[in-house]
């Protein structure tokens, strides 16, 4: 009877997951929307978004094209495909060229289907306006009209980049990957850099072509820095588990897709033994190839402060995931499903919550404490921990006062080839008192 109850519970959780996924996918990512993409030239005129400087008496800046074209790396994404490094990667992969290969264009440009490209559309514009805001066919004219609301633009398929979850899904689709496009281990083996992403940090470093003022908050939802970090970690974990299920569990390949594993578990000197398990990888033997669990580790630090019981449940599920990864695909699938269910239960709760400065400080202290205990031995987890510590410090307006300590910790991560887990651990222990 207990077995059947367990199966019924598992099936219920799977149903909940599927329903959640269907609702999330209701808004198509810009690359796959149904409207024509009219191209940068449709937005860049001096009477639209192409002014040389911001206009003060308008609710948008109107110099968005200048900011994008001169300051934003997305504008140079296509040109990267013409570099000698990209040509070498394409050659290694057996591709005619990087700038014509779909796998490259899907993230380095607004690579919509040819029948959806308007007369002014240029593939060499790179990651342009509509790659983020969606095809403008329906809203290009009406969005400038007096009295038109932002919701009316969204109703015409403008993509809601101001929504934290929607933005996370959009950014993650290229900076991490989807089932349709992913910088696989083969692509990285051919020379592509390791992908690294954290939503709040990347959003903050992005040259803003909007101003969050009272008018903005009246017209659109606004998500604070720390909450954006939370959203990013949740969505990254969800994306990772979904992709893992598709590319690891459902794959028949003899060698699994190594994209999902911690790069530095293998890519370090043989004399530099790093297999010692942390508490989240309890029971893993020497030589085990470890799954990348950085987002889960960040959420554990958050839950340890705000929801200790849920912290225990998530940690137990994460330990089970790592153990299952060494057993077989059915065991891994069962562990993924359990973790997916837990994350979905946490999702709305963590995103809806209002966080106090005291809680931010407590999360930061917890991150530093875990780092000083050696819990962040994997480079990617250490990297994410630093970005979180820095983000929280800036949110608390303490960036200047704690700049020296932040720079010390960053220095241990500046060159991943030289990363020393022990040095990172010792530095965290050395500086943590300054963050109290």
Q: DSSP readout, 260-300? A: GB-GGGTSS-TTS------GGGTTPPTTPPPB--HHHHHHH
Higher pLDDT, 38 or 348: 38
Span 226-250, average pLDDT: 96
Residues 62 and 48: beta-carbon distance below 8 Å: yes
The tokens describing 54, both together, are 């911001």
pLDDT-derived band at 13, boundaries 50, 70, 90: very low
pLDDT for the residue 26: 66
DSSP 398: -
Question: If residue 177 lies in a helix (H) or strand (E), which one and from where to where?
Answer: none
**Block residue for tokens 């890519």:** 267
pLDDT for the residue 37: 98
Question: If residue 169 lies in a helix (H) or strand (E), which one and from where to where?
Answer: helix 164-175
The alpha carbon of residue 67 and the mean position of all alpha carbons in its chain are separated, in whole angstroms, by: 23
H runs (alpha helix) in 94-163:
102-108, 129-133, 150-155
Residue 24 has pLDDT above 90, yes or no: no
The alpha carbon of residue 369 and the mean position of all alpha carbons in its chain are separated, in whole angstroms, by: 24
Residue 315 has pLDDT above 60, yes or no: yes
Span 140-146, average pLDDT: 91
Residues 296 and 303: beta-carbon distance below 8 Å: no
Helix 225-244 vs helix 294-306: crossing angle, to nearest 10: 130
**Block residue for tokens 């790069």:** 263
The tokens describing 383, both together, are 């990297």
pLDDT for the residue 436: 83
pLDDT for the residue 418: 92
Write down the mean pLDDT value for the chain. Answer: 91
Residue 10 has pLDDT above 60, yes or no: no
Residue 51 has pLDDT above 70, yes or no: yes
pLDDT-derived band at 237, boundaries 50, 70, 90: very high
- Residue of 208, 9, 193, 243 whose CA lies nearest to 85: 193
The structure's pTM equals 0.91
pLDDT-derived band at 272, boundaries 50, 70, 90: confident
Span 104-108, average pLDDT: 98
Percent of the chain with pLDDT over 70: 94
From residue 391, alpha-carbon distances to 205, 209, 226, 230, 354 in Å are 11, 21, 7, 11, 17
Residue 17 has pLDDT above 50, yes or no: no
């Amino acid at each position: 009877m207990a077995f059947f109850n367990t199966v019924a519970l598992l099936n219920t959780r799977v149903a909940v997951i599927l329903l959640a996924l269907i609702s999330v996918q209701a808004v198509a990512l810009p690359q796959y929307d149904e409207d024509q993409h009219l191209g940068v030239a449709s937005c860049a005129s001096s009477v639209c978004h192409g002014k040389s400087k911001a206009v003060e008496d308008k609710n948008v800046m109107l110099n968005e094209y200048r900011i994008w074209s001169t300051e934003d790396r997305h504008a140079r994404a296509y040109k990267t495909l013409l570099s000698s490094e990209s040509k070498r990667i394409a050659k290694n992969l057996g591709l005619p060229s990087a700038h014509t290969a779909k796998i490259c264009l899907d993230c380095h440009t607004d690579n919509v289907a040819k029948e959806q490209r308007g007369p002014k559309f240029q593939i060499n514009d790179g990651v342009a306006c509509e790659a983020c805001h969606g095809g403008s066919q329906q809203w290009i004219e009406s969005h400038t009209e007096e009295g038109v609301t932002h919701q009316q633009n969204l109703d015409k398929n403008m993509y809601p980049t101001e929504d934290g979850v929607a933005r996370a899904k959009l950014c993650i689709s290229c900076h991490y990957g989807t089932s349709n496009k992913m910088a696989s281990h083969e692509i990285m083996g051919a020379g592509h850099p390791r992908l690294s992403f954290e939503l709040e940090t990347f959003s903050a470093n992005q040259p803003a072509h909007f101003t969050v003022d009272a008018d903005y908050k009246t017209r659109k939802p606004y998500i604070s820095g720390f909450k954006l970090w939370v959203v990013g970690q949740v969505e990254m974990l969800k994306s990772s588990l979904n992709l893992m299920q598709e590319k690891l569990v459902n794959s028949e390949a003899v060698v699994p897709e190594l994209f999902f594993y911690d790069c530095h578990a293998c890519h370090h000197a043989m004399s530099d033994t790093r297999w010692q398990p942390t508490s989240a990888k309890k029971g893993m033997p020497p030589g085990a190839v470890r799954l990348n669990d950085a987002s889960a580790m960040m959420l554990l630090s958050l839950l340890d402060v705000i929801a200790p019981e849920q912290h225990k449940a998530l940690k137990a599920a994460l330990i089970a995931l790592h153990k299952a990864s060494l057993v077989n695909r059915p065991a891994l699938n069962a562990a993924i499903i359990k973790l997916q269910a837990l994350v979905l239960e946490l999702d709305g709760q963590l995103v809806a919550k209002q966080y106090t400065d005291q809680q931010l400080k407590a999360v930061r202290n917890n991150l530093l404490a875990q780092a000083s205990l050696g819990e962040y031995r994997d480079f990617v987890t250490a990297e994410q921990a630093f970005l979180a510590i820095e983000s929280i410090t800036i949110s608390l307006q303490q960036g200047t006062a704690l700049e020296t300590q932040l720079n010390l910790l960053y220095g241990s991560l500046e060159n991943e080839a030289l990363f020393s887990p022990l040095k990172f651990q010792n530095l965290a222990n050395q500086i943590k008192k300054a963050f109290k």
